[in-house]
Amino acid sequence: MTIQEGDTLPAVTLTTMTEEGPKPIDLQELCDGKKVVLFAVPGAFTPTCSAQHLPGYVQNSQSFKEKGVDVVACVSVNDPFVMGAWGKDRNVSDEVLMLADGNGELTAAIGLEMDGTGFGLGTRSQRYAMVIDSGVVATLKVEPGPSLDVSSAESILESL
């Protein structure tokens, strides 16, 4: 079943890359008492994700802070090494927290898997964005197809 607005996030551990190596991130702890914007991409280094989706959130990170967002995070079914390299390649710095859902546990738990086997990608995440308020999904916008519209940084800023 797909997660809905008003639902609580599942208990999952994601991973981020640090100078010391991969670091586990408990999603519920990350969101506890905070407003978080979490957006998902089908894959690091893929065309739309690299050219539009991630850069939109990086460029608008200050606008999110001004609207009371504590954390902006990007998640993908990739390993933490890939997510770390992608963040460096895109000059993300500390504007966006890069999270790896290496085994697709979060993606499966919230019911937002995408079958990318036709492209050699395996099971990935659909493209979406959500606003999370203290662990509860306040806004959820899932792209209906391969486009980037409802989950863009600009669309989520308008919803805040």
Q: Bridge partners of 73?
A: 38, 97
Rounded Cα gap, residues 28 and 24, in angstroms:
12
Indicate the fold that domain 13-159 takes in CATH.
Answer: Glutaredoxin (3.40.30)
Per the confidence metrics, is the pTM higher than 0.85? yes
Q: Which of 67, 57, 126 is nearest to 93 (CA)?
A: 57
Q: How confident is the model at residue 145 (pLDDT cuts 50, 70, 90)?
A: confident
Average pLDDT of the residues in 30-40: 97
Catalytic annotation, residues:
49
- Cα angle value 130/149/11 (rounded, 5°): 20
Percent of the chain topping pLDDT 70 = 99
Tokens 């702890």, located at residue? 29
pLDDT in tens, 86-128: 999 999 999 999 999 999 999 999 999 988 787 777 788 999 9
Rounded Cα gap, residues 146 and 73, in angstroms:
21
Rounded Cα gap, residues 35 and 136, in angstroms:
9
